[in-house]
Amino acid sequence: MGRMLRSFLQSVLKLVNSVIGMAGMGMILYSLWMMRVWYKQSGGLASSPPWFVYTFLGLGIFLCLITCSGHIAAETASGHCLSCYMIFVFLLVMLEAAVTADIFLNQNWEEDFPEDPTGKFDELKDFVRSNFEMCKWIGLLVVAAQALSIFLAMVLRALGPDHGSYYDSDDDIVPARLPLLRNQQVSR
């Protein structure tokens, strides 16, 4: 029963983690599209895109890295991997909460960001305002996925790694190679 529960939780954690990965891939694609539009409008000049394009790209890459570490942590069910994963996701949630609190509580939140002489940041704000419902639900889905992934990782960590029943008739011989992602009990 415990093995089935652990396997189910590992699969659910991978599924929930995939939502975070999809958000990361969407942010990467959107930032690459913004870069393409920027270079097309600038006539191929060597001018650098605005700061928020790089911010979107960096956050998207970070979300994809978190997703990769989450899949490894879910597969191994190792306490160390799950702890690192939970710390990364928790720090990301805290960063999101800080930015959200700044926007909602600070009346002059736009002054906190660097100046954008191109006006593209204003276009981004207008897009978010005109599609507020969709952006709100996507944001809530990503935050819910992050919170659920932290919870599932905590439960999986409490269950401990899957020791399995790796039967070997030669108990005295240590295997020459050990798999990368499976925890094996090696008896000496």
The pLDDT tens digits of the residues spanning 143-187 come to 999 999 999 999 999 887 665 555 555 555 666 666 666 665 555
User: How many other C-beta atoms lie within 10 A of the C-beta of residue 85?
Assistant: 26
DSSP of 75-87? HH--HHHHHHHHH
Q: Which tokens go with 153? A: 């990782």
Residues 115 and 34: their CA atoms lie apart, in Å, by: 17
pLDDT given at position 94: 92
pLDDT below 50 — which residues of the chain?
none
pLDDT given at position 4: 86
The radius of gyration of the chain's CA atoms, rounded to the nearest angstrom, is 22
Rounded to the nearest 10 degrees, what angle do helices 51-76 and 79-105 cross at?
150
